[in-house]
């Protein structure tokens, strides 16, 4: 078994995710898709406190870019620019390369009756609703759940006591999406407009049938390349695989020489290095990382790689929050050196930073200068005029 110190492992992980590279001068569609070619997925999330989660990781890696490039790659299709990304349940709801869609057919089979009990109950209450929805979408094209309801002339009360308070039509649309019968043809704002998968995913991609064991191995190969170096739980978490799937698959990949067992200094579990992972001598540059960035969305891995304890506090009552509502870790020259609570106040054109905290040893003018520049760059990208720093945290006075 190879041995590696923790600093080298950290640099391998950062390089695999695309950090430390020279930014393109004028990011184009190819630069955006190159980011996803490295990360393999961009998590989707409804929180819009600063910017939707799928946009932020691209900005963190290539700097200011036209968000329309990502939107068009995911939610439009034309002979001149074919759809490059498609939505499905990967880590969570995510954008993935269109070519990866067949690797998740086994999950679509698992979800054929829905991802959770509420969907199954909705189907039991409305045994013909799925067919009715498919008929509407076939006739009218991509449509939101609300538009589908209007076509079906439904005006029924929503079930009481559910957190999301979703209508049965929305629940069945989500069931059909999870089962792979519907996909996302486009989005308006953040509203999903469902379309037949055959009109979203190309025929040659849909025709690929990948057995589950082979698909799992391929997903683990992709996770390994995206992570650079990872434990088995890290690899499993990337696509939210079951342990029963990942354990034998990792063993197969080790036997085939496609994962290299490594003992990393200070790690409490065996690690696996991708054979083509680079281990640069230095990783330089600054980046603000949204809570759902693929580099940090596995919190135990973030702790292990960076000695950085990170928990999202959106659902924590305000008086009990430690760092803030929507906190971005700050990456500087290969280390997580601080964190900043951020809010985009679009009505007034301000990027608000109510709190900024340094990691031990990093409450320095150098950290503050780098964070100041990163905040100004983000504000410019979001077309916000002013950056307003609050009083909380040891970095705030320095900012």
Instruction: Band the pLDDT of 164: cuts 50, 70, 90.
Output: very low
pLDDT digits (tens, 9 = 90+) for 30-84: 999 999 999 999 999 999 999 999 999 999 999 999 999 999 999 999 888 999 9
Distance, in Å, from the CA atom of 266 to the CA atom of 7, rounded to the nearest integer, reads: 10
Q: What pLDDT is stored for residue 319 in this prediction? A: 92
Question: Can you state the angle between helices 212-227 and 243-255, rounded to 10 degrees?
Answer: 70
Distance, in Å, from the CA atom of 312 to the CA atom of 295, rounded to the nearest integer, reads: 15
b vs e for 141-173, b when ≥16 Cβ sit within 10 Å of the residue's Cβ? ebbbbebbbebeeeeeeeeeeeeeebbbbbbbb
What percentage of the chain has pLDDT greater than the value 90?
A: 91
Is the predicted pLDDT of residue 138 greater than 70, yes or no?
Answer: yes
Instruction: Band the pLDDT of 116: cuts 50, 70, 90.
Output: confident
Average of pLDDT values for 285-292? 98
Listing DSSP states for 9-43 in one string gives: HHHHHHHHTTTTSPPPSS--HHHHHHHHHHHS-EE
- Beta strands per DSSP E along the chain: 2-4, 42-43, 85-89, 93-97, 182-188, 191-196, 229-231, 260-264, 271-273, 286-288, 327-332, 335-345, 350-358, 386-392
Neighbours of 210 (CB within 10 A): 16
Q: Closest by alpha carbon to 228, among 268, 264, 266? A: 264
Tokens of 132: 């009715």
Instruction: Band the pLDDT of 1: cuts 50, 70, 90.
Output: confident
Q: What is the mean pLDDT of the chain?
A: 95
**Could you identify the residue written with the tokens 């184009």?**
28
Q: What pLDDT is stored for residue 163 in this prediction? A: 43
Distance, in Å, from the CA atom of 371 to the CA atom of 374, rounded to the nearest integer, reads: 5
Average of pLDDT values for 242-250? 98
pLDDT digits (tens, 9 = 90+) for 358-373: 999 999 999 999 999 9
Q: CA torsion, points 177, 181, 182, 183, in degrees to nearest 10? A: 80
Of 113 and 179, the structure prediction assigns the larger pLDDT to 179
Is the predicted pLDDT of residue 165 greater than 70, yes or no?
Answer: no
**Could you identify the residue written with the tokens 């469902």?**
194
Average of pLDDT values for 309-323? 94
Tokens of 190: 């953040």
Tokens of 383: 């077309």
Compute the residue count for the chain.
399
State if pTM tops 0.75. yes
Q: What pLDDT is stored for residue 162 in this prediction? A: 47
Distance, in Å, from the CA atom of 70 to the CA atom of 145, rounded to the nearest integer, reads: 24
Instruction: Band the pLDDT of 157: cuts 50, 70, 90.
Output: low
Instruction: Band the pLDDT of 245: cuts 50, 70, 90.
Output: very high
Q: What pLDDT is stored for residue 119 in this prediction? A: 87
**Could you identify the residue written with the tokens 């036997």?**
255
Neighbours of 197 (CB within 10 A): 22
Evaluate whether 95 touches 86 at the Cβ level (below 8 Å).
yes
Instruction: Band the pLDDT of 356: cuts 50, 70, 90.
Output: very high
Q: What pLDDT is stored for residue 158 in this prediction? A: 56
Cβ contacts of 362 within 8 Å, gap of 6 or more: 332, 335, 337, 338
Is the predicted pLDDT of residue 231 greater than 50, yes or no?
Answer: yes
Instruction: Band the pLDDT of 230: cuts 50, 70, 90.
Output: very high
Q: What pLDDT is stored for residue 376 in this prediction? A: 98
């Amino acid at each position: 078994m190879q041995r590696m110190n923790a600093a080298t492992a950290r640099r391998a992980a950062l390089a695999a995710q695309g950090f430390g590279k020279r930014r393109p001068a004028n990011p184009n569609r190819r630069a955006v898709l190159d980011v996803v070619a490295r990360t393999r997925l961009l998590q989707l999330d409804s929180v819009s406190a600063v910017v939707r989660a799928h946009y932020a990781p691209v900005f963190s890696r290539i700097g200011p870019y036209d968000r329309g490039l990502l939107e068009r790659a995911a939610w439009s299709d034309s002979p001149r620019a074919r759809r490059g990304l498609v939505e499905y349940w990967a880590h969570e709801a995510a954008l993935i390369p269109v070519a990866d869609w067949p690797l998740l057919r086994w999950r679509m089979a698992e979800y054929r009756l829905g991802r959770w009990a509420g969907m199954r109950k909705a189907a039991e209450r409305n045994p013909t609703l799925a067919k009715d929805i498919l008929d509407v979408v076939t006739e009218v094209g991509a449509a939101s759940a609300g538009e589908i309801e209007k076509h079906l002339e439904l005006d029924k009360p929503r079930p009481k006591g559910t957190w999301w308070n979703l209508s049965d039509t929305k629940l069945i649309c989500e069931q059909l999406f999870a089962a792979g019968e519907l996909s996302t043809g486009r989005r308006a704002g953040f509203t999903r407009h469902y379309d037949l998968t055959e009109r979203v995913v190309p025929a040659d991609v849909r025709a690929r049938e990948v057995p589950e064991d082979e698909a799992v191995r391929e997903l683990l190969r992709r996770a390994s390349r995206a992570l650079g170096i990872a434990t088995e739980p890290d690899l499993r978490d990337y696509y939210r695989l079951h342990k029963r799937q990942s354990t034998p698959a990792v063993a197969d990949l080790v036997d085939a020489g496609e994962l290299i067992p490594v003992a990393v200094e200070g790690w409490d579990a065996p690690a696996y290095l991708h054979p083509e992972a680079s281990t640069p001598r230095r990783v330089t540059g600054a980046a603000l990382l949204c809570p759902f960035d693929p580099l940090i969305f596995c919190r135990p891995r973030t702790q292990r790689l960076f000695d950085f304890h990170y928990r999202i506090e959106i659902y924590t009552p305000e008086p009990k929050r430690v760092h803030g509502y929507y906190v971005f870790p700050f990456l500087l020259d290969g280390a997580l050196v601080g964190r900043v609570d951020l809010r985009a106040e679009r009505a007034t054109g301000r990027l608000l930073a109510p709190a900024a905290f340094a990691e031990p040893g990093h409450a320095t003018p150098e950290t503050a200068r780098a964070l100041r520049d990163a905040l100004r760059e983000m504000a410019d990208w979001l077309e916000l005029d002013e950056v307003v720093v609050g009083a909380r945290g040891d970095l705030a006075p320095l900012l």
